[in-house]
Structure 1
């Protein structure tokens, strides 16, 4: 299943999406200690490096944030008066469901790779990349396609902070007669 496989019949505009960065978005807010504390309180993470800047500087050399928070920094606020976009955090996934007319799609695999930590006061950005799409297949769930989306996170210096890879399956249930 490669993006350049000519035997896979992809409708337009999906064929043009493969290998193209889409939905490049800059975070609305800076990486902030209050958000780190809120997450750590919610999951009862008592790591002193997340709670005390002096400890963070002593242990880590900088005020890093928990790696699991990387995607939270670029997610849109629930509502902002200056943001009228309707882009979802994994919008490309929803675009594919619509393009293939699949009522259901799920994430069957997920992997994060961290290259460098997000530091307090960084402003992160994200972009989505459709890596590949399969031909239609029939599974126990129904008839559909597999696709792989990579989300890339960069800091304000354009340094790669992390990537997330989503392995997905969009499908339509087959009606038994």
Structure 2
């Protein structure tokens, strides 16, 4: 590993450490499910028909693909101050590594217990890896992976979204 690839202590200390534990601002509710399903024309009766959902699953559930919806901060909330960002660990890495630009290179989701109406969810962000410098067409930078692990009020794992980013600096023109 070259000296340029050495990670700052603050970055090394983030790896595999749960960060930014956060609870949903409100219990999961059907209005968000209806709006999301309508927006993407998802007519799956499991999400629209309460009786069918109770028969098949035992409860009303949200589409698994909505996992990240529950943690997108509202632009404004009573008592909140400062800029509210999802994936704060990602923005911390950009700052600590001096890489002002970034793109999502890949995103993968794994699902566990279905998210049900009334659930209160908790997430934490876990930096899984930070790679060495790499030259790309966008510029020189590093790839890093951040997992967002989500559990419900019972401590049951409901899913993990894994994001791989490329943080980079634009090449000098």
Q: In the alignment, is the contact (CA less than 8 A) between 1:127 and 1:151 conserved in 2?
A: yes
Equivalent residues in 2 for 1:52-67 (5 A)? 52-67=49-64
Aligned counterpart, 1:94: 91
Is the Cα contact below 8 Å between 2:75 and 2:84 reproduced in 1? Answer: no
Gaps of 5+ in 1: 2-6
Name the CA distance, whole Å, in 1 between partners of 2:74 and 2:122.
Answer: 14
TM-score where L is the length of structure 1: 0.90
Shift of 1:140: 2.2
Q: Please report the RMSD computed on the Cα atoms of aligned residues, expressed in angstroms.
A: 1.9
Q: Which runs of 4+ in 1 moved over 3 A?
A: none
Instruction: Give deviations 1:148-177, integer Å, cap 9, x for gaps.
Output: 11000110011110001111111112225x
Q: Deviations 1:67-86 (Å, cap 9, x if unpaired)?
A: 01111112222211133353
Residues 127 and 144 in structure 2, CA contact (< 8 A), matched pair in contact too? yes
> Which residue in the other structure is 1:154 paired with?
151
Structure 2: which 5+ residue stretches go unaligned? none
> 52-61 or 105-114: which moved more?
52-61
Post-superposition Cα deviations, 1:50-107, rounded to whole Å, max 9, x if no partner, equal 1121121122222111001111112222211133353411111111111112121111
Number of residue pairs aligned between Structure 1 and Structure 2: 172
Matched, 1:81 2:99: no
Secondary structure (helix, strand or coil) at the match of 1:76 reads coil
User: Contact conserved, 1:27 with 1:76, CA < 8 A, in 2?
Assistant: no
Matched position secondary structure for 1:13: helix
Deviation at 1:8, TM superposition (A): 4.7
Which of the residues 105, 108, 111 maps onto 2:108?
111
